[in-house]
């Protein structure tokens, strides 16, 4: 039995008083490995085991998932137990077959998530975006929140780590100084997924089964919509589903999408480098910086 299997077995016995029958590895990378766990009772769970140095992130994700299950009708995994670097979740079938109907349903479900609103931007505490702390101090001003807690925050981290140079940092800071000319606050702050790309949407039998791996806070819904376009994850069907509930304001696809995607691109530049830096430079050049 591997160390991860021992941790899972111990956690399930502690939290659920159940006996483990089978454990199989599903996915890895980032800050955790994910396993499919069969119990003697016949139930199936998913277990997320934090990698060394990242065990504490299981608690952060458990808090986000619990909040989502309690405050929105959008489907997310339910927390069955958490502790000692293990997060236990109900297992959600995922065959990856989305189809047009599944994509449209995903758009509807994102709209359902965005229907949960707040009078302020941010969150009750810091959350995580991947393995990175995501600061969420409450703010009444969206533009300053996105500037300070997203763009400038991640710019500093990436530059201090040597992933972007000081010249690019200066260009980003110059753009952020004029951000109010490009963005406007939404009427209400919506609950955002925060890491909304195709890999964090589970599809099964051409239906949208659930969203996973959130990075939640209250902000502009366009931030999620922009992320949805970043890796070519979704077709027009997804946006058609979203548009059944909400309109997308003029100028989003032409300009604001790129601005909102500077945040995840900075994150990816910090963790992975490579062409993500070039993507940031391309956006800034397009904006005149």
Which residues are designated catalytic? 195
For residues 136 and 217, the answer to whether their CB atoms sit within 8 Å is yes
- Alpha helices, DSSP H only, in 86-235? 99-114, 142-146, 153-160, 166-176, 221-230
- Alpha helices, DSSP H only, in 138-274? 142-146, 153-160, 166-176, 221-230, 236-243, 257-272
Helices 221-230 and 257-272, packing angle to 10 deg: 60
In angstroms and rounded to an integer, the radius of gyration of the C-alpha atoms of the chain is 19
Q: How far is CA 255 from CA 69, 80, 183, in A?
A: 33, 42, 10
For residues 186 and 142, the answer to whether their CB atoms sit within 8 Å is yes
């Amino acid at each position: 039995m591997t160390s991860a299997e021992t941790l899972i077995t111990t956690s399930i016995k502690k939290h659920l008083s159940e006996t483990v029958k089978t454990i199989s590895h599903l996915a890895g990378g980032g800050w955790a490995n994910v396993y499919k766990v069969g119990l003697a009772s016949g139930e199936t769970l998913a277990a997320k085991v934090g990698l060394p140095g990242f065990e504490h992130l299981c608690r952060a994700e458990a808090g986000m998932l619990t909040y989502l299950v309690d405050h929105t009708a959008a489907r997310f995994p339910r927390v069955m137990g958490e502790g000692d670097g293990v997060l236990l979740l109900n297992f959600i079938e995922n065959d990856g077959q989305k189809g047009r109907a599944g994509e449209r349903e995903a758009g509807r479900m994102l709209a359902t998530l965005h229907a949960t609103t707040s009078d302020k931007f941010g969150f009750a505490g810091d959350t995580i975006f991947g393995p990175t702390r995501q600061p969420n101090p409450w703010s009444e001003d969206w533009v300053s929140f996105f500037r300070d807690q997203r763009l400038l925050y991640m710019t500093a981290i990436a530059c201090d780590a040597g992933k972007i140079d000081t010249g690019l940092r200066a260009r980003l800071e110059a753009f952020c100084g004029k951000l109010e000319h490009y963005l406007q606050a939404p009427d209400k702050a919506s609950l955002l997924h925060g890491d909304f790309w195709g890999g964090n949407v589970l599809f099964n039998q051409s239906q949208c089964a659930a969203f996973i791996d959130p990075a939640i806070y209250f902000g502009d819904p366009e931030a999620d919509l922009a992320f949805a376009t970043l890796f070519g994850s979704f077709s027009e069907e997804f946006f058609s589903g979203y548009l059944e509930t909400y309109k997308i304001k003029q100028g989003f696809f032409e300009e604001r999408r790129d601005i909102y995607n500077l945040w995840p691109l900075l994150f990816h530049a910090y963790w992975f480098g490579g062409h993500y830096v070039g993507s940031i430079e391309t956006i800034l050049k397009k904006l005149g910086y």
